Amino acid sequence: MTTEPELTIHLNGRFRIDTRTGAEVTPVGRKAQGLLALLATEPNFTRTRTWLQDKLWDGDSKSSQANLRQTLRTIRRSSDSLDAVIVSDRVNIGLDSSRVVVRDAEESDADFLEGLDVDSPEFNDWLTTMRSRRQRPAHETGALPISAPRAAARSLQRAQRQIVLTLVSPARSPLGMVEKQFCDHLAKSLRETFDIDAHLAAPLTAEPGLLIAEVEAFGSGDEIGLRVSINESGTQRTVWTDSVIAPQPASQAVIGIAHMALSHRAVVAVMGMMSRPARNRRHDLDADALASTALRKMFTMRRRDLDEARMLFLKAREIEARGLFDAWLAQLEVIRYVEFCDRDKEETAEAVRQLCADALAGEPTNSNVLCSVANARLALENDGNASRELSKIAVTANPSNPLAWWAWSTALLYTGETKTAYSAAKTAQMLSHNASFRFWSEFQLALAAAVTGRMGEATAHLETSRSLNPEFRPPLRYLIGLYSLARDEVATRRSIDLLRKVEPDFTVRRLVDDGKYPVSMMRTAGLVDTDFLRGLD
């Protein structure tokens, strides 16, 4: 005799939970619904507490643990039926599979977890990935084909994003000129990153529901301060604010690197706000939202995330043909080649060469495109001169883009201009202080420091890089080299052990003797003591 499950969880359309009698027992809170949805999509209905915390809450682990415990209590108290199906211990939380059935039928008129808006970037990334996996061919659903013309696709996905930039000071005043130049940098970076109308206007002319970035400059002796506040028009609610005070550059530039770093932080904030799923927007038909999720996944450097990022970039490109998406795909292939050392260089180079050509044809002045192509030319074709020129153009096109400075530093380092490479790497690090790829700029600064003889500084930046992203292999490889130079056996062995956790097939012999292993700068600049390492093997 088969017993009917006590609860049915519906994932398509509005998230809801029904009892066997038809009574709805869906908890009210969004985080509670998100928690149950995360569990219901797992094959065994179980996840670790740590994984759930990371998906639903930002902040430190203690506050996330407390939030998870409170949400569990709320779910249990909301319904005896829910209390009966939740199984938990100190490590895992799950649902009793004998008492729960999940309905995941893909109805043509309903999105997966339609309208479930949880205030968490990690959850929204997960939701975007899950929706993308479930998207069916147009001939089955009647939905817009993925290869539909751009104008038709946009009619379903969203109106163009907009942000209004406003100046506090009179436009022709000295402080107004500072604000205007800052807004120029901010607007260019926003437009390069996604399809957005960023324009100057008075606050009172902004339509309701738009973001307004208010830029205020102020003087303090020989220093210039900048404050940026992002508000929602209509409600006037402030959603983000930041400021900086820094010396005015000695050159003719009105704003300096510290001010441009503020611009990059504002771009990161706006990206987060505008890439959240919205109730009036099909997130799986939103190319910019898909690409934003893909970028975050790409910079985790984890193989599975890189595979998912590639899928999301491809889907974004099918929705909206942008050179930027081709450039990110090229960058992703370079990362996979360098990180995992298991791809054929010639085959990868051939595929990336076409992506780079399409990217440059589509957006030849986009600094993100230029620096991605520059990196590919260096990593896969050893063309340092082309890489140097492309990345220099990228820096000129948008000096507030940390990836442009990173690419230029890399090219300069490989073409022998080490002092300028070190300076460019310092700039990239300053600009990327709060970026998801800061570990990348820390690694580049470490290389430049090592090549220019700053070994202590290089080691410190390598340790910072690997701490920011333990999955990132290059800093561990170079730490082995630098610690071998210092003949620090304990630190060398520790770095070897850490590398083997993310690169199980790593051997000292491969680092020392395999010319294809990606540590060319270590060899050419003498950043390793091979005899010392052979003695450890």
| Residue range 162-268, CATH number | 3.40.50.11830
Ramachandran sector of residue 382 (left: φ over 0; alpha: ψ -120 to 50; beta: rest)? left
Q: In what order do the strands lie in the sheet with 86-88?
A: 46-48, 92-95, 86-88
Q: Count Cβ atoms below 10 Å from residue 174 Cβ, excluding itself.
A: 12
The pLDDT tens digits along the chain (537 residues) read 446 788 999 988 889 999 988 888 998 888 899 999 999 998 889 999 989 998 998 766 778 888 899 899 889 988 888 999 999 988 899 999 889 999 876 554 577 888 787 878 888 888 888 887 766 443 343 333 333 333 334 434 455 688 889 999 998 898 999 999 999 999 999 999 988 888 887 755 556 668 899 999 998 778 899 999 999 877 778 999 999 999 877 665 668 899 999 999 999 999 888 766 554 455 557 888 899 999 999 999 999 999 999 999 999 988 888 999 999 999 999 999 999 888 888 999 999 999 999 999 999 999 999 999 999 999 999 999 999 999 999 999 999 999 999 999 999 999 999 999 999 999 999 999 878 899 999 999 999 999 999 999 999 999 999 999 999 999 999 999 999 999 999 999 999 999 999 999 999 999 999 998 999 999 999 999 999 999 987
pLDDT computed for residue 135 by the predictor: 60
> Three-state secondary structure along 125-171?
HHHHHHHHHHCCCHHHHCCCCCCCCHHHHHHHHCCCEEEEEEECCCC
Cβ atoms of residues 392 and 406 within 8 Å: no
d(CA 102, CA 89): 23
Number of H helices, E strands in the chain: 24, 11
Identical topology for domains 7-119 and 437-537: no
pLDDT computed for residue 486 by the predictor: 96
pLDDT computed for residue 248 by the predictor: 79
Range 388-391, long-range pairs (CB < 8 A, 24+ positions): 388/412, 388/415, 388/417
d(CA 426, CA 442): 9
Question: Where exactly are the structural domains of the chain?
Answer: 7-119, 162-268, 437-537
pLDDT computed for residue 236 by the predictor: 75
d(CA 510, CA 488): 20
Pick from 193, 204, 197: nearest CA to 166: 204
pLDDT computed for residue 504 by the predictor: 93
pTM, rounded to two decimals: 0.73
| Residue range 7-119, CATH number | 1.10.10
Dihedral (Cα; 472, 473, 475, 476), 10-degree rounding: 130
Using DSSP's 3-state secondary structure scheme, residue 305 falls into helix
| Residue range 437-537, CATH number | 1.25.40
